[in-house]
Amino acid sequence: MTETTAVMHTDLDLLAERVEKAAALVHQLREDKLRLERENQDLSHRAQELEGRLQGQDVAGLMNEVQTLRREQRDWQGERREVAGRIETLLKKLERLEG
């Protein structure tokens, strides 16, 4: 085998290796593309479902309701603290009466 033939074999081997790597990369990219297309379809379907659930609902009305509920929660928490304070005062009075 001459030197030129050896160089050609080496070049062909390198080219074959690159082609194989490129083919593997193309195969992987195709699989990724299919997976991403499926995920895109799933997400589109989920978005449509959520839009369907929200249709007819007044977002501003829902926000007002949330604010009202938060206000009521704060009021209840205030009343709870007040009741706890009254109970503590009554317990102290009972302790003095028993003491």
Are 81 and 50 in a shared domain?
no
Lowest mean pLDDT of 4-8, 27-31, 46-50, 73-77, name the range.
4-8
pLDDT score at 1:
54
pLDDT tens per residue, range 35-83 = 999 999 999 999 999 888 878 788 888 899 999 999 999 999 999 999 9
Are 35 and 66 in a shared domain?
no
Are 79 and 53 in a shared domain?
no
What is the pTM for the complete model shown? 0.46
Q: What whole-number distance in Å separates Cα of residue 55 and Cα of residue 57?
A: 5
pLDDT score at 83:
92
Are 46 and 29 in a shared domain?
yes
The separation between CA 58 and the C-alpha centre of its own chain, rounded to angstroms, equals: 25
| Dihedral sign of CA atoms 43, 47, 48, 50 in order | positive
pLDDT score at 97:
82
Are 23 and 65 in a shared domain?
no
**Number of domain units in the chain:** 2
- Is 7's pLDDT higher than 80? no
pLDDT score at 34:
94
Q: What whole-number distance in Å separates Cα of residue 6 and Cα of residue 25?
A: 28
Q: What whole-number distance in Å separates Cα of residue 25 and Cα of residue 76?
A: 62
Residue 28 zone, left/alpha/beta (φ > 0; ψ -120 to 50; rest): alpha
Residue-number span of the structural domain to which 1 is assigned = 1-57
Q: What whole-number distance in Å separates Cα of residue 84 and Cα of residue 78?
A: 10
